[in-house]
């Protein structure tokens, strides 16, 4: 039986999520990869337990995380039941629905039917009575935004989720759903979006600034660009890396030009006394408009390395200028 470390809150830094009363750890753990049916359960336990011992109180899932769909939630549910249940009140657990989950017209999108059915199934898989955050995983142009918002409102009012979130919404869609939620006294709690050195659309579109000015939390997934912003690809494509499988990260992205830029960024990171991955996380957290970064992991050591960024989120002007010079070429 797992017993959490007595020192689990000694070092973690927490930030307020928007204008809410909730604080999130600067580094949160996402179970998108390496927590599915093909991954050893014992390794999943090691990573979850070590993360919690380091103060990572926020665990993020989605209905279709696996493979297979639903298996990450099922495995997390097994671990919740066997070991983590005594710590439920110390945890922020989130899940999502929006992408394809089951066959037929009711297993995808943003309809009330899909969102509520999916959450009910997620709660059973995870062995919890409620989640802290439920996200609509993507804007669905085929469903009226009022319907998706209405489902989130009722989910919160029913106590199945404490807070409503969205993910992968653009600026205008974010404004629309936030206004509907606010009018119904269920404020938009958080937006989960992709943001990293190689993907800056939320910054250039004004979305990051809008979230901060509106008091909406922001948590960033893929802060390491699915591993591109690590030392794995500084010399090309390593065997058994994500790019070598040519699935979610395409091998074609690893052009000689990109590798050269990664090497240049790595040189700056080394001068800062960080790995490229650590600097990439620090860069995402450099502004107050980002509440937390979501990391993925395949082993405990990655979590331990990434957590070191919590006290290294500041950059001097020279470092930022050098990074901008490299990134503007990408």
> What one-character-per-residue DSSP string does 45-69 give?
HHHHHHHHHTT--EEE--TT-TTTT
Cα–Cα distance for residue pair 98/168, rounded to 1 Å: 10
User: Residue 160: inside a domain, yes or no?
Assistant: yes
Specify the pLDDT at position 254.
79
CB within 8 Å of 203: residues ≥ 6 apart:
195
User: Residue 124: inside a domain, yes or no?
Assistant: yes
User: Residue 91: inside a domain, yes or no?
Assistant: yes
Nearest to residue 113, comparing CAs of 148, 139, 160, 141? 148
Full pLDDT tens readout for the chain, 330 residues: 999 999 999 999 999 999 999 999 999 999 999 999 999 999 999 999 999 999 999 999 999 999 999 999 999 999 999 999 999 999 999 999 999 999 999 999 999 999 999 999 999 999 999 999 999 999 999 999 999 999 999 999 999 999 999 999 999 999 999 999 999 999 999 999 999 999 999 999 999 999 999 999 999 999 999 889 999 888 866 545 554 444 555 567 778 889 999 999 999 999 999 999 999 999 999 988 999 999 999 999 999 999 999 999 999 999 999 999 999 866
User: Residue 255: inside a domain, yes or no?
Assistant: no
User: Residue 60: inside a domain, yes or no?
Assistant: yes
Owner of token pair 């580094």: 27
Specify the pLDDT at position 248.
54
For the chain, the helix, strand and coil percentages under 3-state DSSP, each to the nearest 5? 45, 15, 40
Report residue 213 as tokens. 């000015």
Strand partners of residue 94? 60, 133
Contact by Cβ (8 Å): 36, 74: no
Owner of token pair 């009363």: 21
User: Residue 327: inside a domain, yes or no?
Assistant: no
User: Residue 262: inside a domain, yes or no?
Assistant: no
Supply the range of the domain harboring residue 132: 14-227+286-314
Specify the pLDDT at position 245.
47
Report residue 3 as tokens. 């017993």
Cα–Cα distance for residue pair 83/100, rounded to 1 Å: 30
Per the structure, how many domains does the chain have? 1
Report residue 57 as tokens. 């109180």
CB within 8 Å of 321: residues ≥ 6 apart:
none
* pTM for the predicted model, two decimal places: 0.94
- The DSSP element (H or E) to which 329 belongs, if any, is none
User: Residue 18: inside a domain, yes or no?
Assistant: yes
For residue 63, the domain's CATH number is 3.20.20.100
Helix 145-157 crosses helix 112-126 at what angle (to 10 degrees)?
40
**Torsion 146-149-151-156 (CA) sign:** negative
């Amino acid at each position: 039986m797992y017993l959490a470390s007595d020192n689990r809150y000694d070092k973690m830094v927490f930030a307020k999520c928007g204008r809410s009363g909730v604080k999130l750890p600067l580094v949160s753990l996402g179970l998108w990869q390496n927590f599915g049916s093909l991954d050893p359960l014992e390794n999943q336990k090691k990573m979850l337990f070590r993360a919690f011992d380091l103060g990572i109180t926020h665990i993020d899932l989605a209905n279709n995380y696996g493979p297979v769909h639903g298996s990450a939630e099922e495995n997390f549910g097994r671990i919740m039941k066997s070991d983590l249940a005594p710590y439920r009140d110390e945890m922020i657990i989130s899940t999502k629905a929006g992408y394809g989950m089951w066959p037929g017209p009711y297993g995808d999108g943003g309809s009330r039917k899909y969102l509520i059915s999916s959450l009910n199934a997620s709660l059973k898989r995870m062995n919890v009575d409620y989640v802290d955050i439920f996200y609509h995983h993507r804007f669905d142009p085929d469903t009226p935004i009022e319907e998706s918002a209405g489902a989130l409102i009722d989910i919160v009012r029913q106590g199945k989720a404490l807070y409503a979130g969205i993910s992968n919404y653009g600026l205008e869609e974010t404004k629309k759903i936030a206004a509907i939620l606010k009018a119904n006294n269920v404020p938009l709690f958080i937006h989960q979006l992709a943001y990293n050195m190689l993907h800056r659309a939320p910054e250039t579109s004004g979305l990051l600034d809008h979230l901060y000015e509106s008091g909406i939390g922001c948590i960033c997934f893929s802060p390491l660009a699915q591993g591109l912003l690590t030392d794995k690809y500084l010399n090309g494509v390593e065997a058994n890396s994500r790019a070598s499988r040519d699935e979610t990260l395409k091998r074609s992205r690893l052009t000689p030009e990109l590798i050269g830029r990664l090497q240049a960024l790595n040189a700056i990171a080394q001068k800062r006394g960080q790995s490229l991955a650590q600097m990439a996380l620090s860069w995402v957290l450099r502004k107050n408009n980002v509440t937390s970064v979501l990391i993925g992991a395949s082993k405990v050591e990655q979590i331990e390395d990434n957590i070191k960024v919590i006290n290294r989120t500041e950059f001097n002007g020279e470092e930022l200028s050098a990074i901008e010079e490299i990134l503007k070429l990408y």
